[in-house]
Amino acid sequence: MRITQSMTNRRYTSQLNAALERKNESERKINSTKRYNRASEDPISAAKALRVRKALSDNADYVNNLETAEQIYNAADNALMDISDILDTIVEKVTYAANGTQHDIDEEILAQNVETYADELVRTFNIDIAQRRVFGGVYNGETVFKIETNAVGDKIVTYNGVDVSSLQEATEFPYSEVSFTDIGIGMVIDPATGRVDPQSALPVTFNGAEITGCGTDEQGDSKNIIQLTLSAAKAVRDGDKILAMDYVDKIREAQTRVAVAHADIGNKQQYIEYNKNRLTTDRETLLEQQNNLEGTDMGAETATWKTLTAIYNVSLQMATSVIPMSIFEFIS
């Protein structure tokens, strides 16, 4: 078989283009920092990288869920701190009225003052954050607690439209279900009931009736702290000092329930912080895995690029030996 000059030229040009492509491919890896641009280049690594990307996406969702939950718990924490201060003031005002000697007008002023604090309790328990009522259970309507006047002219407190003294169990009120958010600890849903396992997710709702109290005690008095405040104001207005002090004792007892709820929120805040740190560590690990699967080893690839560049340059220099000068170049 005779090897012609045109065959040599084609062979040389093909090898030169191949060297150029290898050099350019190395440059692309360096510039993009990606080891491959198509899954077909490394199917096994690409499949693993997809799983890592899915894990990173889930991680971001969990972090967003925790940040929303953190806003809710911080709002609840601040609200219960304010509630505690208001209740201390209510106890102080009612105790002063019960132990002092006042005229009717003074008792009326003190009663109105205590009722004002009852209104403040309602406003505080009706706070909203992240487009939801913090203490409304799963209810996100306009208000969850209201002070209304019944048919006989008495002031009553309602929670989600129901008299707080009419039900003994907080879970019996409308919208008292618990809403959970997935924070990446393996949320489990019971296939039989469709309910979330409380140990596998973070609750992000608070039952206001459970914190403020509901139902009545053995004396027929409300256990609700707002209703007790209104009852204490009425006792002050009527000049019944003994009854007013009885309500003070019951308000103090109800404060314990608020303190327990406040402590539980504090524990959940620590739990949220722990999981945020956990997810941050997980993300760093996943990013490292992603870089190992997709990223370019810059040191090794730079050395490869320099080698390929040298090969390409040498190939160009060989052109004078492989491809003869044309008649026009020779004449010139």
Say how many C-beta atoms besides its own lie within 10 A of residue 319's C-beta.
12
pLDDT averaged over the chain?
Answer: 84
At 34 the three-state DSSP class reads strand
- Band the pLDDT of 39: cuts 50, 70, 90: low
What does the pLDDT look like over 171-194, one tens digit per residue? 999 999 999 999 999 889 888 888
What does the pLDDT look like over 82-120, one tens digit per residue? 999 999 999 999 998 888 766 668 788 899 999 999 999
* Range scoring the smallest mean pLDDT among 240-244, 294-298, 304-308, 309-313: 294-298
Does the pLDDT value for residue 271 go beyond 60?
Answer: yes
Average pLDDT over residues 48-69: 92
pLDDT of the residue at 131 = 75
The CA distance from 164 to 151, in Å, is: 16
Dihedral angle computed from the Cα positions of residues 139, 144, 148 and 152, in that order, rounded to the nearest 10 degrees: 60
Give the burial string for 224-253 (b: 16+ CB within 10 Å, else e): bbbbbbbbbbbbbbeeebebbbbbbebbee
pLDDT of the residue at 308 = 64
Average pLDDT over residues 40-62: 87
Predicted structure pTM score: 0.79
Domains of the chain, residue spans = 49-290
The CA distance from 83 to 50, in Å, is: 49
Say how many C-beta atoms besides its own lie within 10 A of residue 178's C-beta.
16
Compute φ and ψ for 251, nearest 5 degrees: -65, -40
Query: Which position has the token pair 């006042």?
Result: 102
**CATH number given to 49-290:** 1.20.1330.10
User: For strand 180-181 and strand 162-163, is the pairing parallel, antiparallel, or unpaired?
Assistant: unpaired
